[in-house]
Chain A
Amino acid sequence: MAIKADLVIIGGGPAGMSAAVAAYDAGIRDIIILERDKSLGGILRQCIHNGFGLHRFKEELTGPEYAYRYEMQVREKNIPFKLNTMVLDITSDKVVTAMNSEDGLFQIEAKSIILAMGCRERSKGALNIAGYRPAGIFTAGTAQKFVNIDGYMPGREVVILGSGDIGLIMARRMTLEGAKVKAVCELMPYSGGLARNIEQCLNDFNIPLHLSHTVVEVHGKERVTGVTIAKVDERRKPIPETRQFIECDTLLLSVGLLPENELTKCADIALDRITGGAVVDQNRQTEIEGVFACGNVLHVHDLVDYVSEESEIAGKAAAEYILGNKKPATDINLVTDGKVRYTVPQKISAEENVTVYFRVADVYRDVAIVVRDGENVLINKKKQKVAPGEMEAITITAEMIKNLEGKTLSFSIEQKEGK
């Protein structure tokens, strides 16, 4: 027999908790957060470095501190949550199937669902690196769990492939724990991480960053004994003459994050080919009414502060949906030029101000972010530099787009005039 709930939130990380608090504040009480780990907080639990909360709280917090602020709100408001609970299935008519030790396998019929499952790291398998399959190859996040949660050292001499933020953070973390980080290799000619992390995690510790380089071979049968790296050409193919052996016992991978949308697919919800997350409107509602998505399951964010912001939108909108308050139709489609890779949301309404988030495909200097309705330029925002590692945001006011129902807004990166 299925139990019923107004709102089921899948995931008790920063997205799920922020959404829960926002839904509560908007008047919803019958909420249940389902969290697969043994405590609330999600991946922030293992992010013990600082730098979280600068936008939200105007102070520098560690990951666990940031999570704790939300967990306290969840607890103070007595928002119910179940830990060690894995959601196994959701259906398009909002039946959630989950499992844990106390309740066994159980089902919840929800009025509304918020998807807040987060993301996972791309694994080595996808990279086709030659060599054996020794111990000593970890994703940066797995190594982070070993070091920060379990208290063990998965490596002594480390090479990191990929300059995503977790890789950069782990370069510093492993160094502080006494390991020698010999190099960070990045396939692209620019880093995929935040500029501040390059500065604080690599430069401050004299860790070399090799741009346009990749790992072509892993050495060692039982444990990693070294890696061969090589420079890549414009087509990202390794250049054989540049092969170089680096002795190490560990290879960490920070080669991309992938929104975890297995459950979203269970409910046949359409995904955006670029973000890997659901297609949503400005309320973060998916194509199924009453099913919302927020945080890294929707698109990979650079800062948790924006995850909270987005999740509040979803939480509030879920509450409105449950209370039966009709939201304006979202019938303006947002399209991109490829230099702007994607936008979230992908659809907006003509009646509200909305902030649109996006990432760019390459590093561009002295450009303008241009938003057009056909030929008509709505926004032309100058930027000295935009980079794939940093999320961009543009606010469109209701004033700009009134009467544009059914039309398309295009987002592009353009050279400034005269350049």
Chain B
Amino acid sequence: MFDIVIIGAGVVGGLVAETLAKYDKKVCILDKASDVAMGATRANSAIVHAGFDAKEGSLKAQLNVRGSVLMEDVCRRLGVKYQNNEALVVGFENERAEVEALYERGVKNGVQGLRVIEKDEMLALEPNLNPELACALLATTSSIVCPYELCLAAIGNAMDNGVELTLDFEVTSIEKADGKYIIKSADGRKVEATYVINSAGLYSDEIAKMTGDGDFTVNARRGEYMLLDKDCGTFTQRTIFHTPTKMGKGILISPTVDGNLLVGPTSVDIDDKEDNSTTAEGFATLFAKSAENVANLPFNKVITSFCGLRSTGSTGDFIIKERDGVITLGGIESPGLSSAPAIAEYVENILNGLGALGEKKASFKAERKPAHYFRELSMEEKNEIIKKDPAYGRIVCRCEGITEGEIVEALTTNPCARDLDGVKRRTRSGMGRCQGGFCSPTVVELIAKERNIPFESVTKFGKGSIINYGKTKGDN
């Protein structure tokens, strides 16, 4: 029996859990996937938006601006990389009115540090921009984070402070009996709780139906991205958007906190909430559309492409409501990542209003060791660690310089990695230019050893994603 169950281990659910971990309550996070951060959190633009985009007066605008203010401190506390790299929303001469409208809206939303700049200044700031562009909105508070790194750190810290995590738990029914909610999974498990928080992302409408709050729908919008080699990580210093359309903020070009360059997303509404495949049309769109904003993007330096599915709610705004102990967080579309710390604060206030949280516990540990601390150390500090644990002296992923020690840490630190992709998201092993060509057999070996499972049982991302079928003939 839990006091609070959170359905959905994405960045929103994760930050809510980390906020609730401050209280002396029994909290559990459920997710249908075999790891955290597997929905929209896994693949999005990784931007902390300044807050000029959302309609004035909307919940989105309020939470985006607040979230963007809170984000830097949340990242610092949780040891998550955060970079205030600024953004430019560029436009051609015929789009000048839209650029100015964005400025006006941003000011009304309370966004600091906005300015419309002209071509010369724009090109001086970002020499690789298309010289045909006329002007831009400069947003100095716009920043970048790694969304799954933030989610992993938030859930990790929540767990270190007593929150439980249950994976592979696909919620199929929620019923109320004797003043408590009984949540059942597809494989027959059940969890009981006094309060339920629905942060199920794309599936928040379906969970809401189970709790009787199904007056909205959430559809999937496909967004394809390409990630370029670190050689191109400074192609632009700022995040470059084009003036937005009703389908979203268009195709952006942005450095990532890890030093790569990200191009995307496309924007196609689809019916299948699981279809995160990339398409030939998507690649073609990325090539064509990004050329409007920058000249000569080095597409021969693409190291991987991927597709994210983002929520699009039926109301156009975030849907946050409480009824009978159920808090629904629906339609958390862009700027969901930017707003996540503010959504967590908002949920905390609702629960406090219900008297659900009580006193904060004294034992809460707010600061977390950065997941990537080892690479930031000096030569002497690294040698101290290697002396104690020689595994930190063995590089497994050559491209990103990840050691065996860091991989073992990812397999033994909350929330523990269980598969190849889980190790990759936590350590960046396999995320470099060779894309795991050299390191993946060694990582498979380390997973098998650390989890004490057979080599051939190690998967790429759980379920049927097996890597090896068994031993070769010679060994049988």
Our pick among A104, A133, A139 for the contact of B437 (Cβ within 8 Å) is A139
**Which residues does chain A contribute within 8 Å of B304, judged by CB atoms?**
123-125
Q: How far is the CB of A180 from chain B (nearest CB, A)?
A: 13
* Docked-complex contact B471 and A130, CB < 8 angstroms: no
CB pair B302 A126 closer than 8 Å: yes
B465, B470, B474: the one within 8 Å of A135 (CB): B465
A325, CB-defined interface residue at 8 Å = no
Q: Which stretch of A66-74, A153-161, A375-383, A386-394 is in the interface? A: A153-161
> Of B280, B303, B386, which is within 8 A of A101 by CB?
B386
User: Given the complex, which residues of A lie within 8 Å of B303, measured CB to CB?
Assistant: 123, 125-126
Say yes or no: A152 contacts B393, CB within 8 Å.
Answer: no
Q: Is the CB of B470 within 8 A of A100?
A: no
In this assembly, does B463 line the interface, its C-beta being within 8 Å of a C-beta of chain A? yes
Task: Decide: B382 and A104 in contact? CB cutoff 8 A.
Answer: yes
The reply to whether the CB of B55 lies closer than 8 angstroms to some CB of chain A is: no
Interface check B107, CB cutoff 8 A: no
Determine how close the nearest CB of chain B comes to the CB of A125; give it in whole angstroms: 4
Is there a chain A Cβ closer than 8 Å to B376's Cβ? no
A99 contacts partner chain B, Cβ-Cβ < 8 Å: yes
A153 close to B468 (CB less than 8 A): yes
* Residue B279, interface by CB 8 Å: yes
How far is A178 from B473 in the complex, measured between Cα atoms in Å?
A: 8
Distance, CA A141 to CA B465, complexed state (A): 20
Q: Does B128 contact A (CB under 8 A)?
A: no
CB nearest neighbor in A for B438: A120
Q: Is the CB of B460 within 8 A of A134?
A: yes
Q: Is the CB of A121 within 8 A of B277?
A: no
Are B456 and A152 closer than 8 Å at their CB atoms? Answer: yes
Report the bound CA distance from A126 to B468 in whole Å.
24
Q: Which of B83-91, B180-188, B338-346, B394-402 contacts A (4 or more CB under 8 A)?
A: B394-402
CB distance from A241 to the nearest CB of B (A): 15
A 285-315 binary contact with B (CB < 8 Å = 1; else 0) = 0000000000000000000000000000000
Say yes or no: A123 contacts B465, CB within 8 Å.
no
Q: Produce 1/0 per residue, A144-181, CB < 8 A to B.
A: 01110111111110000000000000000000011000
A154 close to B467 (CB less than 8 A) = yes
**Bound: A156/B467 CA distance, A:** 11
Interface residue count on the A side (C-beta < 8 Å): 47
- Do residues A223 and B280 form an inter-chain contact, with CB atoms below 8 A? no
Q: Does A195 contact B (CB under 8 A)?
A: no
- Which residues in A have their C-beta under 8 angstroms from that of B474? 151
Known contacts A128-B283, A139-B437, A150-B441; is-contact A222 B382 (Cβ 8 Å): no
- How far apart are the CA atoms of A128 and B473 in the complex, in Å? 34
B390 contacts partner chain A, Cβ-Cβ < 8 Å: yes
Asked if residues A128 and B302 are in contact (CB atoms below 8 Å), the reply is yes
Given known A104-B386, A105-B379, A123-B434, contact A130–B278 (CB-CB < 8 A): yes
User: Does A79 lie at the interface of the complex (its beta carbon under 8 Å from any beta carbon of B)?
Assistant: no
- Which chain A residues lie closer than 8 Å to B472 at the CB level? 147, 151-153, 177
- Assess whether A221 is in contact with B379, with CB atoms less than 8 Å apart: no
Give the B interface residue count (CB, 8 A): 58
Chain A residues closer than 8 Å to B395, beta-carbon distance = 36, 86, 88, 99
Q: How far is the CA of A132 from the CA of B440 in the complex (A)?
A: 19
A177 to B227, alpha carbons, bound, how many Å?
Answer: 36
- Inter-chain contact A132/B437, CB cutoff 8 Å: no
Q: Decide: A152 and B302 in contact? CB cutoff 8 A.
A: no
A125 with B393, Cβ < 8 A, contacts A142-B437, A152-B455, A223-B464 known = no
B438 and A100 form a contact (CB under 8 A): no
Residue of B nearest to A105 (CB): B379
CA distance A145 to B439 in the complex (A): 11
Q: A216 contacts the other chain (Cβ, under 8 Å)?
A: yes
Q: Does A80 contact B (CB under 8 A)?
A: no
A101, B393: Cβ atoms under 8 Å? yes
Residue pair A125, B469 in contact (C-beta under 8 Å):
no
Closest B residue by C-beta to A176: B473
B234 → chain A, closest Cβ, in Å?
Answer: 15
* Given A101-B386, A105-B379, A177-B472, also A150-B455 (CB < 8 A): yes
Name the residue in A120, A133, A145, A155 with the highest tally of chain B Cβ atoms < 10 Å from its Cβ. Answer: A133
Closest to A97 in B: B379
Look across to chain B and name the residue whose beta carbon is closest to the beta carbon of A128.
B283
Q: Would B382 and A105 count as touching, CB distance under 8 A?
A: yes
Check: A208 CB closer than 8 A to any chain B CB.
no
With both beta carbons as reference points, the residue of chain A lying nearest to B462 in the complex is identified as A222
Residues of B within 8 A of A153 (CB): 468-472
Question: Are A84 and B468 closer than 8 Å at their CB atoms?
Answer: no
Q: Would you give the shortest CB distance from B211 to chain A, in whole angstroms?
A: 29
CB nearest to B474 among chain A residues: A151
Asked if B435 is at the interface of the complex by the 8 Å CB criterion, the answer is: yes
Select which of B434, B455, B463 is within 8 A of A121 by beta carbon. Answer: B434
Flag if A135 contacts B437 (CB, 8 Å): no
**Bitwise interface map of B from 275 to 317 toward A, beta carbon under 8 Å scored 1, else 0:** 0111110110000000000000000101111100000000000
Interface residues of B in 355-401 (CB under 8 A from A): 379, 382-383, 386-387, 390-395, 398-399, 401
Q: In the complex, what's the smallest C-beta–C-beta distance from A148 to chain B, in angstroms?
A: 9
On whether the beta carbons of A223 and B393 are closer than 8 Å, the reply is no
Contacts A125-B303, A125-B305, A135-B460 given; does A154 touch B468 at CB 8 Å? yes
> In the assembly, what is the distance between CA of A155 and CA of B467, in Å?
8
CB of B120 within 8 Å of the partner chain = no
Chain A residues within 8 Å of B386, by CB: 99, 101, 104-105
| A86 nearest CB neighbor, chain B only | B395
| Complex contact B471–A151 (CB within 8 A) | yes
Q: Are A123 and B435 in contact (CB under 8 A)?
A: yes
Say yes or no: is A406 at the interface (Cβ < 8 Å to chain B). Answer: no
CA distance A311 to B470 in the complex (A): 39
Which B residues are in CB contact (< 8 Å) with A154? 467-469
**Interface residue ranges of B438-467 to A (CB < 8 Å):** 438, 440-441, 444-445, 455-456, 459-461, 463-467
- Tell me the bound Cα distance from A88 to B473 in angstroms: 38
**Interface presence of B475 (CB below 8 A):** yes
Contact yes or no, A146 B468, CB < 8 A: yes
User: B324 on the interface (CB 8 Å rule)?
Assistant: no
**A3 CB, nearest partner CB in chain B, Å:** 14
Give chain B residues whose Cβ lies under 8 Å from the Cβ of A100: 393-394
Which residue of the partner chain B has the closest CB to A121? B437
- Interface: B73 (CB within 8 A): no
Say yes or no: B465 contacts A134, CB within 8 Å.
yes
CB distance from B170 to the nearest CB of A (A): 15
Residues of the A chain whose Cβ atoms lie less than 8 Å from the Cβ of B278:
128, 130-132
Residue B175 lies at the interface, judged by CB distance under 8 Å to chain A: no
Starting from the known contacts A86-B394, A120-B437, 16 additional A-B residue pairs (CB-CB under 8 Å) come to: A36-B395, A86-B398, A100-B394, A102-B393, A104-B382, A104-B393, A125-B305, A131-B277, A132-B277, A135-B459, A135-B461, A150-B445, A152-B470, A152-B472, A154-B468, A155-B469
What are 16 A-B pairs at a CB distance below 8 A? A84-B393, A86-B398, A88-B395, A99-B382, A123-B303, A123-B437, A130-B277, A135-B459, A135-B465, A142-B440, A146-B468, A151-B471, A152-B470, A156-B469, A177-B472, A222-B464
Q: Which 5 A-B pairs have the closest CB atoms?
A: A101-B390, A125-B304, A101-B393, A222-B464, A104-B383
